[in-house]
Amino acid sequence: MITVLLADDQELVRLGLCALFDNEDGFTVAAQAADGLAAVEQARRTRPDVVLMDIRMPGIDGLEATRRIVTDPDLSGTRVIVLTTFERDEYVFDALRMGASGFLLKNTKPALLLEAVRTVVDGGALLAPSVTKTLIREFTGLAPRPNRPHPHLARLTDREREIVTLVARGLSNHEIAAQLVVSPATARTHVSRSMIKLGARDRAQLVVFAYQSGLA
């Protein structure tokens, strides 16, 4: 059973999400929170598998709430997905940098939202590459940022740099394998080694590092 914490200051949004998960086999809503502080408190109390986090909330915002949850040793098994109204929220990239496992638009179709939560849980904080690809590209297009190379970037081999660039473009391991004419297992190994060298906790954060370092 996948447990979910819903953090949003809009009651209607929480009610809609609650109905979605309560009516889907394999999911249960562990708790709800209307502000950032309550989200952190409820996460510590219930230790959910996934937190669906709004960014703009009273008290502390979703960015700070995400940071507190991700850095809490007792919540090492909890993942955060940011739900945002994309055109208005300018901090999604920072949310990923602070440890969110990915993000989705609030108008995402229910089936995709459910699948994203499953993907995060099953893949140890992996967000579907196609989702990361689409939203990261749109976000960076609206808010270009100066390069801030990762301090461990030099540890990557040329092939690993190439792999990280392809991950940032939204390619899956199978797509990377096909493009580089290697086996999927080899592609997966390169991705894993790149994550270890850069200290990326998941694929979404690897995408962030790629954009920050100018690899994408």
Residue 130 shares a structural domain with residue 170:
no
Q: Which among 92, 122, 142 is the end of a domain?
A: 142
pTM of the model as a whole: 0.72
Q: In whole angstroms, what is the distance from residue 187 CA to residue 205 CA?
A: 18
CB 106 within 8 A of CB 212: no
Q: Is residue 147 part of a domain?
A: no
Residues forming beta bridges with residue 32, ordered by sequence position: 6
Residue 66 shares a structural domain with residue 104:
yes
> Mind listing the pLDDT tens digit for each residue in 50-101?
999 998 899 899 999 999 999 999 998 899 998 877 655 566 677 777 888 8
Q: Is residue 138 part of a domain?
A: yes
| CATH code for position 206 | 1.10.10.10
> Mind listing the pLDDT tens digit for each residue in 191-210?
999 999 998 877 877 888 88
Question: Could you give the residue ranges of the DSSP H alpha helices within the chain?
Answer: 11-22, 36-46, 62-70, 92-97, 110-122, 129-142, 158-168, 173-180, 184-198, 203-212
Give the residue numbers spanning the domain of 205. Answer: 153-212
Q: Which among 112, 142, 172 is the end of a domain?
A: 142
| CATH code for position 29 | 3.40.50.2300
Q: Which among 85, 115, 142 is the end of a domain?
A: 142
- Counting the structural domains of the chain, the total is 2
